[in-house]
Amino acid sequence: MHCKITALPALLAITAAPAFAQDKIAVIDTYADIAQAGYEDSFAKARSLKEAISALVAEPSADALAAAKAAWLEARVPYQQTEVYRFGNPIVDDWEGRVNAWPLDEGLIDYVDQSYGGPTDENLYAGLDVIANPTFTLSGAEIDATEITPALLENELHEADGVEANVATGYHAIEFLLWGQDLNGTDHGAGARPWTDYAEGDECTNGNCERRGNYLEAAVDLLVSDLEWMSGQWTDDGAARAALMEDPDAGIVAMLTGMGSLSYGEQAGERMKLGLMLNDPEEEHDCFSDNTHNSHFYDGLGVRNVYVGEYVRVDGSVVSGPSLSELVASADPQVDAALREDLNRTMIELGQLKTAAEAGFSYDMMLARGNEAGEALIMGAVDALVAQTRSIERAVTTLELDQIGFEGSDSLDDPDAVFQ
Amino acid sequence: MMIRHLALMFLLAGGPAFAGVEEAVEDHVLPRMANFAVQAGDLADAAADDCTADALRPPFQDLFDAWLGVSHLRFGPLEEGGRALSIGFWPDTRGMVGDTVARLIAEEDPVLEDPDAFAEVSIAGRGLFALERLLFEPELADYDDGDYECRLVQAIAEDLAMTSDALLSEWRTDQAPALLSAGDPGNTLYLSAREPAQVLYTALTTGLGFTAEQRLGRPLGTFERPRPERAEARRSGRPLRNVALSLEALRELARALADGPIPETEQAFAAALEQAATLDPVFAGVSDPSGRLKVEILQQRIERIQVAVTEEIGVPLGISQGFNAADGD
């Protein structure tokens, strides 16, 4: 009050800034806590998946395969909610391709249907079939794959020949090995791999059952160790948390970048609209298991978690704290209310899509050419995601954070990062 | 920092602080959208008259030229209903255009008899890249009048004409008025004068990024594994032409959007276009070290444009790049 003659902007800069910085640190702390809990949950669920896969390989049966599939589906629930951490956190983005790369040319890994075709202009190794071939040549090098190990998958096969569709590791490689190809096109039905693909002796179908089991075990071992590593990056002294704390403004930008980039370019565009416009069920994110509706739903929920500062863990306990929503509301309650409303709208739209899929109108059916109900469900969610992106931009402007890029933020070293 | 903040506040408080928006809409977007619609109409007329590949290659090239004038405007009408993808589905990382066109022909899919039904066909079977296959792929392009391929070419051309008409009409009746009345009560699309400037600025910077990273980056591949076969529209001999035309369109947008002189931006565009003039038309050179270097230099010069644009347009206007459709991985 006694500073009346000081210019207003200077006053704000002097008196408000320190308190604001504290608020930002508390908000980033919540964000990192949610990441830590999400990756720990994903790690725990991956270990359950590993147990189920070990049981399947040790004593193959229809029940054991079903149990492994159920474990995979559960494992996806926490993981998809962490996808919002990818964009804006270089530590996550650099690592993510190991665990969730998609789409994949599955013929690299195992047998495929005749309709799959073989090598293409884009990918010479689309039909390599490592499980059936203990030795082969890859980009001019002789590869000895007589033993299928995590190192072989990670170092030789993953992104072989520099092609991203050569996905040898992660959730979707495991998904393919559990479900097999979905040959139903845009009709109802997921992949139908027989449990006997893992059977011993004469019962073995499609050959090389032991190598197939070895591949599956190697892939889940890698998944478990990768998720363990990522949980470690978010502990109190973890590198991902520390990177955000270095510069609170850049940390808040990273949060909003993740929300907006996942919402718009990645989920609404790449994953939903593109698949719909190609009428292509292989563009489904979880195409082998027909779990795409859940994949989209939990991606959307992850974005909301970050904004409202709340995550419900797989055991039902809640991680919450000072939120980005509160930070935005303190600057402009209207912008905050609009963004919260948009995020809720998206969850309703994604919820409708999930509901219809679970009632039997599966995601691949929605993609069929001329299927108006499916198109309306998918585009309803796409439009909601696009709308929330506009509100996220407004939140950035409200917090006066779009100037950050001009200052040259080192914590966003990705040249494609949104707020350059 | 403080000076910048003050400048920003004056802009926000001031009146028509974003004069460049009107210029960009009226002198850049609308004329180029109109030209795209005219060229698409011409191609559809030509196809109705004579559907053979020989006859349609020239109007196809004209339409593709016109597309480069608008393809960076990936917001509003061009995003609505996925129009951009239905016109130019590229990059096609899974080879779906070839597969889809082949399947339509093999099945002689009757879907092309109804334009509304054809508009529901996969984007890999419509638009400029499906048409390019039919007109330039040697095994496909020798079709005759009366063949299924002939009717497919006509259907694709007609679909493009319909899309370009809808695009132009939405720009004229909805999008341009909304951009120019930002902040008015009742304008639910653009809530402040700043938002249209940011949307156009995002189109500019994203367009530069797309040309550097995709149009040049995809054929470059890696040093060990160059990928000339991944160049955009290589079948019709357009990879370099697309790069040059996109830069020219983006320069026009930059000039319109800027509030003052932009000497560094001008210089950077000129340097990039000068470098482009030294390249071969289909980037075959990426396979040898010296040819590769030329393409990499062009890429760096486009990155210099991005820096200049940030400093001379983004900073003075107090805006930065927003989210865009290419944010995915």
CATH number at residue B232: 1.20.120
Find residue A141's DSSP bridge partners: A138
Pairwise CA distance, residues A38 & A83, whole Å: 10
Last residue of a domain, one of B180, B202, B234: B180
Assigned domain for B187 exists: no
Please tell me whether residues B176 and B198 are part of one structural domain. no
| Cβ separation A416–B327 shorter than 8 A | yes
Amino acid type, B271? A
Instruction: Write out chain A's pLDDT in tens, 420 residues.
Output: 333 333 333 333 334 444 577 899 999 999 999 999 999 999 999 999 999 999 999 999 999 999 999 999 999 999 999 999 998 899 999 999 999 998 899 999 999 998 887 787 778 899 999 999 999 999 889 999 999 999 999 999 999 988 889 999 999 999 999 999 998 888 888 999 999 999 999 999 999 999 999 999 999 999 999 999 999 999 999 999 999 999 999 999 999 999 999 999 899 998 999 989 998 877 777 889 999 999 999 999 999 999 999 999 999 999 999 999 999 999 999 999 999 999 999 999 999 999 999 999 999 999 999 999 999 999 999 999 999 999 999 999 999 887 654 333 332 333 333 333
- The per-residue pLDDT for A3 is 37
Query: For residue A94, what is the nearest residue in chain B, using CA coordinates?
Result: B329
| Cβ separation B221–A162 shorter than 8 A | yes
Find residue A224's DSSP bridge partners: none
For residue B291, is pLDDT > 90? yes
User: Chain B residues with CB inside 8 Å of A271's CB?
Assistant: 328
For residue B326, is pLDDT > 90? no
- The per-residue pLDDT for B320 is 87
Of A180-184, A333-337, B27-31, B199-203, the one with minimum mean pLDDT is A180-184
| Cβ separation A261–B5 shorter than 8 A | no
Please tell me whether residues B163 and B259 are part of one structural domain. no
Assigned domain for B188 exists: no
Please tell me whether residues B156 and B213 are part of one structural domain. no
For residue B4, is pLDDT > 70? no
Find residue A142's DSSP bridge partners: A137
| Cβ separation A420–B121 shorter than 8 A | no
For residue B10, is pLDDT > 80? no
The number of folded domains in chain B is 2
Pairwise CA distance, residues A258 & A268, whole Å: 14
Nearest to B298 by CA among B225, B254, B240, B226: B240
Rounded to the nearest angstrom, the gap between the alpha carbon of residue B83 and the centroid of all alpha carbons in its chain is 11
pLDDT tens track for B302-314: 999 999 999 999 9
Contacts of residue A381, Cβ cutoff 8 Å, sequence gap at least 6: A268, A272, A296, A300, A346, A349, A350, A352, A353
Rounded to the nearest angstrom, the gap between the alpha carbon of residue A332 and the centroid of all alpha carbons in its chain is 31
* d(CA A268, nearest CA chain B) in Å: 9
Give chain A's count of helices (H) and strands (E).
Answer: 16, 4
- Residue bearing tokens 């990818």: A86
Assigned domain for B162 exists: yes
Assigned domain for B329 exists: no
| Cβ separation A122–B95 shorter than 8 A | yes
Last residue of a domain, one of B180, B211, B244: B180
Burial environment of residue A24 by CB neighbours within 10 A (0 to 12, 13 to 18, 19 or more): buried
| Cβ separation B5–A13 shorter than 8 A | yes
Nearest to A80 by CA among A256, A361, A292: A292
For residue B6, is pLDDT > 60? no
Nearest to A325 by CA among A351, A346, A343, A298: A343
Pairwise CA distance, residues B186 & B131, whole Å: 42
CATH number for the domain that contains residue B49:
1.20.1420.20
Assigned domain for B328 exists: no
Please tell me whether residues B130 and B43 are part of one structural domain. yes
Flag whether residue A208 sits within 8 Å of chain B, measured between CB atoms: no
Pairwise CA distance, residues B207 & B217, whole Å: 14
User: For chain B, what is the mean pLDDT?
Assistant: 92
Assigned domain for B160 exists: yes
Please tell me whether residues B168 and B268 are part of one structural domain. no
| Count of A-B CB contacts under 8 Å | 118
Please state the pTM of the whole predicted model: 0.90
Please tell me whether residues B176 and B201 are part of one structural domain. no
β A141-144/A135-138 pair status: antiparallel
Answer left, alpha or beta for residue B221, where phi above 0 means left and psi between -120 and 50 means alpha.
left
Last residue of a domain, one of B116, B151, B180: B180
pLDDT tens track for B47-102: 999 999 999 999 999 999 999 999 999 999 999 989 999 999 999 988 899 999 99
To test the contact with chain B by mutation, choose from A397, A398, A399 the residue with the greatest count of B C-beta atoms within 10 A, namely A397
Please tell me whether residues B151 and B270 are part of one structural domain. no
Please tell me whether residues B152 and B44 are part of one structural domain. yes
Pairwise CA distance, residues A375 & A386, whole Å: 16
Please tell me whether residues B36 and B67 are part of one structural domain. yes
User: Chain A residues with CB inside 8 Å of B306's CB?
Assistant: 420
- The per-residue pLDDT for A402 is 74
Assigned domain for B85 exists: yes
| Residue B235 belongs to domain spanning | 194-322
Please tell me whether residues B209 and B128 are part of one structural domain. no
Please tell me whether residues B214 and B142 are part of one structural domain. no
User: Chain B residues with CB inside 8 Å of A99's CB?
Assistant: none
Flag whether residue A10 sits within 8 Å of chain B, measured between CB atoms: yes
Instruction: Identify the sign of the CA torsion B116, B120, B121, B127.
Output: positive
Asked whether A65 and A28 are in contact (CB, 8 A), the reply is no
The vertex-A106 CA angle with A83 and A193, nearest 5°, equals 100
| Cβ separation A161–B85 shorter than 8 A | no
To test the contact with chain A by mutation, choose from B320, B321, B324 the residue with the greatest count of A C-beta atoms within 10 A, namely B320
pLDDT tens track for B119-147: 999 999 999 999 999 999 999 999 999 99
Assigned domain for B317 exists: yes
Nearest to B320 among A263, A274, A405 (CB): A405
> What is the DSSP secondary structure assignment for residue A315, as one 8-state letter?
T
Please tell me whether residues B161 and B274 are part of one structural domain. no
For residue B186, is pLDDT > 60? yes
User: Chain B residues with CB inside 8 Å of A397's CB?
Assistant: 194
Three-state secondary structure call for residue A117: coil
